[in-house]
Amino acid sequence: NAGVTQTPKFQVLKTGQSMTLQCAQDMNHNSMYWYRQDPGMGLRLIYYSASEGTTDKGEVPNGYNVSRLNKREFSLRLESAAPSQTSVYFCASSERLRHNEQFFGPGTRLTVL
Q: Which is nearer to other proteins, 78 or 89 (CB)?
A: 89
φ, ψ at 49 (rounded to 5°): -130, 115
> Where would I find the H helices in the chain?
none
Chain positions 48 to 87 lying near other proteins, rule: CB under 8 A, are 48, 50, 56, 58-59
Instruction: Work out whether 31 is an interface residue with other proteins (CB under 8 A).
Output: yes
Distance of alpha carbon 63 from alpha carbon 16, whole angstroms = 11
Instruction: Work out whether 97 is an interface residue with other proteins (CB under 8 A).
Output: yes
Q: Which is nearer to other proteins, 19 or 50 (CB)?
A: 50
Residue partners of 55: CB distance under 8 A and separation at least 6: 47, 48, 49, 66, 67, 68
Site for other proteins, rule CB under 8 A? 4, 31, 33, 40-45, 48, 50, 56, 58-59, 90, 92, 97-98, 100-107
